Amino acid sequence: MNRILDRYVVNDLAGPFALSAVLLTFVLIIDRIYHLTDLVVTKGVPFSMVLGLLVFMLPSFLAHTLPMALLMAVLLAAGRLAGDLEVLALKASGVSPLRLLRPFLVIAALVTLVTGALTLWLNPLANRTFQRQLTRILQTRAATGISERVFSTTFGQIVIYVEEVSPSHVALRGVLLSDERDPKLLRIITAREGRLLTDEENDRITLRLIDGALNESPPGDASRYRYSTFELYDMNLSVEAPFKSAPRVEKPEKNLSLRRLLAAAAALRR
């Protein structure tokens, strides 16, 4: 009798819980799906890389949607049991309401454990992997955005012209660059060679220029013109991120495991 009752309640919970989890997750992730689709269709990013981004995003959404889905399932299942007078019938047959509550508590404990594992272990791991994958995508877009003998505006206010690009899109020859990020200072840089370098740990793409010259002057003021040469010059490139329409405050702590969070808190206390 007890097993039949537990199985009956679990079956009542399973359907609404699964449906609610899928719908709530889809509602939260639909905006990201639009941007991911745009990466494949208009940016030419491989579908496998974009699919990896979607998979790495799921744990952070599931940590929110699973508890909400459980709440929806409990409300629907308990409401149906009460509405069909099944609670009254079970009580009349000698089943205590507390006994009827046991499968609800077991399912809630399981969801709590899963949500805790997602929040404390899987989410930081998925976030770190997501950032590495996103950096690879940005590197791909940065490399393919530079073409031979074409003025490239892939990097916002930095315009790059290259005489020759290696087949790997990493080595560049005959580089001419206009840096207009500072409205009070115009920079024209020429270099014999260039290299596109990726720092996955710091999520940064760097253009390293070799054997070149730097020309600087305020716009419209030639009297303050300055010319200098260099053997090595590094410039961080800004590549448009796929999720720029979702502004948020970056929290590097979300990528830390529980052990590293506790170590960081202890260091701050010291």
The per-residue pLDDT for range 38-60, each reduced to its tens digit, is: 777 766 677 888 888 889 989 98
| Residue from 217, 164, 151 nearest 188 by CA | 217
CB 253 within 8 A of CB 264: yes
Q: What is d(CA 43, CA 139) in angstroms, rounded to the nearest whole number? A: 13
Q: What is d(CA 23, CA 259) in angstroms, rounded to the nearest whole number? A: 33
Write down the residue that tokens 């309401």 correspond to: 97
Strand partners, 178: 159, 188
**Which pLDDT value is given to residue 260?**
78
**Which pLDDT value is given to residue 245?**
43
Mean pLDDT score, 133-148: 72
Least confident window among 41-55, 96-110, 185-199, 209-223: 41-55
Q: What is d(CA 51, CA 21) in angstroms, rounded to the nearest whole number? A: 20
**Which pLDDT value is given to residue 64?**
92
**Which pLDDT value is given to residue 113?**
96
What pTM, to 2 d.p., does this model score? 0.64
Structure confidence at residue 255 as a pLDDT band (50, 70, 90): low
**Which pLDDT value is given to residue 249?**
45
